[in-house]
Chains A and B, each alone.
Chain A
């Protein structure tokens, strides 16, 4: 039931969105009634609910259609964000692709040579304990010194976040085939490479995709953080930085750009989901218990 499924996704998305708006507005309304205290107590709410801290959802949405300046041109905010988002998306996509390639490469290396696993895995883990905020300026400075375009430096920051879940889950997936399958390939005198392509990689897909979904959203985070620390002229990160500085004047604008970033994150997540369904379709056609029960 392909159509039913799409409809369900659309409906759940809308319901979830309405729920968030309702909570936001409900909280705001309550704060307005009680002067920012929990009802019937003298305990203050964690955030105040005035229009500066929490603009109305409708105002945030309305802001999207306000005109903003983009260089010499003027255009509605949503178009502006879409443009910036497209730029950020490209950075994230390049970063994600590098991260996928590097992560897979490392996983295969670690699979092939036990020594590599023992030697690399600790470093891969350590790499993720370095805070991104500290690392980003280093990558950027290094990139500028070596004449690497900023967009690539930013992608590299996204790569740094994405290769990790890919490497770890791919290694697990590549090691997942059971002895019987491996012995079968051995009985065919299959060389290592053949076993990799016919058995290990296909078996790894089920482990890889959850990590890829994580990596996709992380690549957006990486790209935005990269933009902010590099101080580029473009991208969603730049817009967020700019609107944060002018928060006091128009808080709606910052919220709107944050919503834009969230939508971008959701879109890349959705794309990986779609890719998963295309690639994993091959094992479908099995009526699963959960579907029958539903």
Chain B
């Protein structure tokens, strides 16, 4: 616990377990005894070996799953209420754009559902396209874009209604190293400009270290929080990646992951 007062917290996870298919032969305990508080405006990464329950935890925050025990609070209300209030935006590993909608229309989808006028929607999607550096692609169809461009559109879509919370599940997983590093900087810029809270799932140690103010290290199944690494590297630039302090932090995360392996 990092000592945030309740009102400042974006997400409070309190004693959460998640068991899939309880009581049947394929029962899986995905998460066990999760306590985590994420402050408003924080950038928190969840890292851990495959199958440890990172996506499950993210889905619990987004109320796409319900906990078996414990409770999840988002901006002071139950996760369910936060979802109904559309307090968060979600970005998945695959862009998940609608093929039959032009890029601009994809970005405007959440606005459409909220009943925005056509003019307001067009203005906002143009703004978002600028933000993700795709100003000329509003009229394209998703399949005419590269994977990295599609992912940027999906980020623009998640940000279009300016959610206070952004949930991202390995959004850069499918990208090459160059694009990925570029996108990381873009994301940090957007995060600074919008002041939103980000929960970011990743497999990558350098990525989690580079992006976050805190890295939450999960143990293998059943997922538990074994340690939280505070990362204080100031404002990130490309030079940060070669900074000894950055390496030191990455090593710390790596060792926390190793400790989990041994400990589990």
Which residues of A are in contact with B by a Cβ distance under 8 Å?
Answer: 178, 180-181, 183-184, 186-190, 194, 198-199, 202-203, 205, 282-283, 285-286
Contact = CB atoms under 8 A, between A and B. Distances in A.
Contact of B100 (A187, A189, A282): A282
A286 B143 contact: yes
Interface in B101-130: 101-102, 109-110, 112-113
Contacts of A199: 98
A198 B62 CA distance: 21
B83 A202 contact: no
Contact of A187 (B88, B102, B141): B88
A194 B86 CA distance: 15
B64 A283 contact: no
Interface stretch (B4-12, B37-45, B89-97, B249-257): B89-97
B110 A188 contact: yes
Given A189-B83, A194-B113, A282-B101, 17 more contacts: A178-B96, A180-B96, A181-B96, A184-B90, A187-B64, A188-B109, A188-B113, A189-B84, A202-B98, A282-B100, A282-B102, A282-B141, A283-B99, A283-B100, A283-B143, A285-B140, A286-B141
Secondary structure dominating the interface of A: helix
Nearest to B84: A189
B144 interface: yes
Of B90, B100, B101, most buried by chain A (CB within 10 Å of CB) is B100
A178 B96 CA distance: 9
A169 B62 CA distance: 33
A286 B144 contact: yes
16 contacts: A180-B92, A184-B96, A187-B64, A187-B86, A188-B113, A189-B83, A189-B84, A189-B85, A202-B100, A282-B101, A283-B99, A283-B141, A283-B143, A285-B144, A286-B141, A286-B143
A199 B110 CA distance: 12
B144 to A, nearest CB: 6
A115 B99 CA distance: 31
B141 A183 contact: no
Nearest to B114: A188
A70 B115 CA distance: 59
Contacts of B90: 183-184, 187
Nearest to B90: A187
Contacts of B92: 180, 183-184
Nearest to B93: A180
Contacts of A189: 83-86
